[in-house]
Each structure stands twice: as C-alpha cells, then as structure tokens.
Amino acid sequence: MSYCRQEGKDRIIFATKEDHETPSSAELVADDPDDPYEEQGLILPNGDINWNCPCLGGMASGPCGEQFKAAFSCFHYSTEEIKGSDCVDQFRAMQECMQKYPDLYPQEDENEEKEKLSKDLEATSMEASAAKEEKGSS
C-alpha cells in the first residue's frame, strides 16, 4: 500500500512494487526554443543581457541593481581593446553602493578588498591610458 506523509517541509512518498510495475502515462513535451520562460542563460540569442538569469544571484534586483546593471552593461558592450577599461566609473559607483549595504554585500576582508580594488582600478586606468597613448602615437 503506497502512502504519503509530511515531515516538516519534506513530503515523503512510499510506493509499492506494484506501483512501479505499471508504466508511466506521463507525456513528455518537446522543448520550445521560443518559450519566454525557458532558461536562456546570461546572454540571450539576440546578444542582450538576461537580467533574470539565476547566475546573477539577484544582483540586478537588489538595492544596487541599477548600478550593477550599468557596470555589467558597460563591460558587456565595451569595445575597448582592454575590455571594460572604459567602465571604471560605473564599477566604482556599484562598489560605493554595495558598501552602504554590508549585510547584503559582505566583503571578505574590508582592508584586503579595498587594497585589491584600488590596485585593480589603478592598473585598469594605467592600461587604458597606455592603450590610448599607443593609439594616439600610431
């Protein structure tokens, strides 16, 4: 005799051997590539960013969502030789916003993180300047 029982949030289903002898009558539906609810990944087929992708971990909808979208869009669409080197201001604005919400956006070690970001921003700025100077002298 098969039966179900609930334990907290879990539902436990007990099935008998006889329950499994009968073939399933479930019909499988073929995947529809045009289904708007189908998982599309981070980048949609048309090249746009899928802000609903679970891979973004909700970053696009949090209190710093607009800053995140601006920084991520800038990076995604960047045509600079050093991709994203033109997005330093957007990433800085995102970081400043995230620092206002330390409970939502915890940092591993604030001092280490600040030093790393500072060095990364400095390196990106120097690389961008060097690339622009190189373009100008060619």
pTM: 0.52
Residue ranges per domain, the chain? 63-110
pLDDT tens digits, residue range 4-29? 888 888 888 777 887 777 776 666 65
Mean pLDDT of 112-132: 64
Q: Which two tokens stand for residue 17?
A: 């051997």
CATH architecture observed for domain 63-110: Orthogonal Bundle (1.10)
Q: What one-character-per-residue DSSP string does 27-52 give? A: PPPPP-TT-TTS---SB-TTS-B-TT
pLDDT tens digits, residue range 30-80? 656 665 545 678 888 888 898 888 888 888 888 999 999 999 999 999 999
Q: What are phi and psi of 80, to 5 degrees?
A: -65, 155
In angstroms, the Cα distances linking 5 to 15, 47, 61 are 12, 47, 37
